[in-house]
Chains A and B, each alone.
Chain A
């Protein structure tokens, strides 16, 4: 494996795994903590439809993916906030529309199906240096935003209504987190693929969520699990000559299962057996 690292495409894959895995892991924490995992599926499919739209109209697929995922994030928030439909219903409808658009474009695309399928499954082994710079840049931006707004993001992710009651512009942060998720998914699309990127967003974050109550540690663990999923998946795909994207996702699912087995949160006796406290006399 070490000797294989002299090949540029493998170096690129490892770097894409590092930046993409960390990026997806961090935004996954937003969705898992807000209990809005289905929202991630919807944004992933919007990004996929947007990338195909870019291919169809002959402009950069990543730009199309960013545009559509931001659009989806902008529509989902207000739709669920207004309460005319339950969030699940509005997300479900948008999800089906995005899937319909994606398959429609695949159907009418003249001679572009191999590229479309590559967006569908992802191609981490053919990822370009430019794609890696974009991934690194978006990750750096996300880390900067987290450093600046950490405490607000933390409380909005945990309890939006309480944050709003305290005078924090909770909706602004909520939409910001959805937009960050949209951009992260869109830029990860070329390497991981529209069908699989959702799993890389949710699985590492869900694994980290099993292990800690500390939000900072949760973000770090999720980023670490995202990177570990990508690198383990790459390694195993070489060993077994299997599709890299699929093995990356299975690796992330394996990490999730291990985290569940080790989770202190799955031992309710630890938190039910608490000491009673009273007011100071």
Chain B
């Protein structure tokens, strides 16, 4: 088995006295593609935000690459983990274009001193192409449809060149064609680059082809953690 790169031990998070994560322990290995499922309020999003250091733990511990996603190591963890939050609307008058939004993913690792080099520009162009955004690159972000904005956020996370990708319902409310396309891009990255992926999905009838584990959550706890059954995860890696 490959190295454990994310390790949660008895993680506990509470919102106003109600447990969102209730003693969750989880090990994620490098190169795994894991789907998180469960009803609303099960703690799936909280699990992702806790790994990304957006939600502090009340008890227990989280280590990503051996680092705590808090304090001095928070930024390093965030630079190595790409996070795509649930669908969010953007103000149509906001002064930021699609390309500028995608470039945000690069700024974190470049810092404020290093310029955007030609190879980085080329990588951004390739990602825009891969996600079908090249034609939209000079459009204001807020002018795009919900599905297009979702693709921009995924592109932004990918140009970060993360080792782990956290996706919170990346295909929710998208049409079947766009959903399949997004899944195939992520599956490809998992296969080719060994990108570790944690997907939160409500989509009950299909799993990404790369899916190796399906974790079901309920009331802040992991109820099952198993390989997907053959019917649901056709085409997955052995």
Contact = CB atoms under 8 A, between A and B. Distances in A.
Contacts of A152: 107, 112
Given A166-B108, A209-B93, A151 B85 contact: no
Nearest to A268: B92
A149 B112 contact: yes
Contacts, number: 105
A65 B129 CA distance: 51
B95 A166 contact: no
B177 A168 contact: no
Contacts of B52: 165
B152 to A, nearest CB: 10
Interface in A255-272: 265, 268, 271
A119 B236 CA distance: 71
A212 interface: yes
A158 B95 contact: yes
Given A159-B96, A166-B105, A215-B95, A277 B156 contact: no
B109 interface: yes
B17 to A, nearest CB: 14
Interface in B51-80: 52, 54, 75-76, 78-79
Contact of B109 (A162, A167, A276): A167
B149 to A, nearest CB: 11
Contact of A168 (B76, B83, B104, B148): B104
Given A155-B107, A209-B95, A279-B132, A166 B177 contact: no
Contacts of A155: 96, 100-101, 104, 107
A59 to B, nearest CB: 36
A91 B75 CA distance: 28
A278 B130 CA distance: 11
Contacts of A276: 145
A152 B105 CA distance: 11
Given A152-B112, A165-B83, A169-B75, A215 B96 contact: yes
Interface string B79-102: 100110100001111111100110
Contacts of B4: none
A105 B216 CA distance: 61
A280 B134 CA distance: 10
A166 B107 CA distance: 7
A277 B136 contact: yes
Contact of B104 (A162, A265, A277): A162
Contact of B107 (A148, A158, A168, A212): A168
Given A159-B90, A279-B181, A280-B129, A213 B140 contact: yes
B95 A277 contact: no
A30 to B, nearest CB: 12
B20 interface: no
B178 interface: yes
A242 interface: no
B219 interface: no
Contacts of B178: 278-279
Given A155-B107, A158-B96, A271-B143, A166 B156 contact: yes
A215 B139 CA distance: 13
A165 B104 CA distance: 9
Contact of B92 (A154, A165, A271, A280): A271
A214 B95 CA distance: 6
Interface string A26-40: 000000010100000
A280 B132 contact: yes
Given A169-B75, A209-B95, A279 B131 contact: yes
Nearest to A270: B143
A102 to B, nearest CB: 33
A277 to B, nearest CB: 5
A167 B160 contact: yes
A75 interface: no
Nearest to B96: A158
A214 B76 CA distance: 30
B166 to A, nearest CB: 9
Given A158-B96, A168-B75, 19 more contacts: A149-B112, A154-B96, A154-B100, A155-B101, A159-B90, A163-B107, A165-B85, A167-B75, A167-B78, A167-B79, A168-B107, A168-B108, A209-B95, A212-B95, A215-B95, A271-B140, A274-B145, A277-B132, A279-B132
Closest 4 pairs between A and B when the two form their complex, measured CB to CB: A167-B108, A167-B79, A166-B108, A279-B132
21 contacts: A35-B91, A149-B112, A151-B103, A155-B100, A155-B101, A165-B82, A166-B156, A168-B107, A168-B108, A209-B93, A213-B97, A213-B140, A215-B100, A218-B95, A277-B133, A277-B135, A277-B148, A279-B131, A279-B181, A280-B130, A280-B132
